[in-house]
Amino acid sequence: MKKIVTITPPDAAHGFALAGVKQLVRTPQELDDTLLELMGDPATGVIIIDERLVAGSTQRRIEEIERRWPGLVVELPAPGKPQRPEEDYVLNLIRRAIGYQVRLTP
């Protein structure tokens, strides 16, 4: 079974660890190296990244990773920031995970 790894800033250091998920505490400057390291680990299947760590160049790196890496990268919305339209976000995750476009209807 593949591992789920979360990458968060120091102020969120304990949240996911309480749920039993491997949690790495990083700064925005450390994120690129950490992502490359996790991509090289065949046991890693899902990487969850706190949106506060993602800057412009890192955002492009994440998009590149999503195209090249078979695992799933999920960005958690930062507290207090406007949220993306949920349906679009969910549809993109599903398409990325299963490789098909789906249509969600109420």
Condensed to tens digits (0 to 9), the pLDDT of residues 53-82 reads: 887 767 788 888 888 888 888 888 777 766
Structure tokens at 46: 């899902």
Structure tokens at 98: 């299963």
pLDDT at 105 over 70: no
Domain boundaries, the chain: 3-79
pTM of the model: 0.74
Q: What is the CATH number of domain 3-79?
A: 3.40.50.10580
Strand order in the sheet with 22-25: 22-25, 3-8, 44-50, 72-76
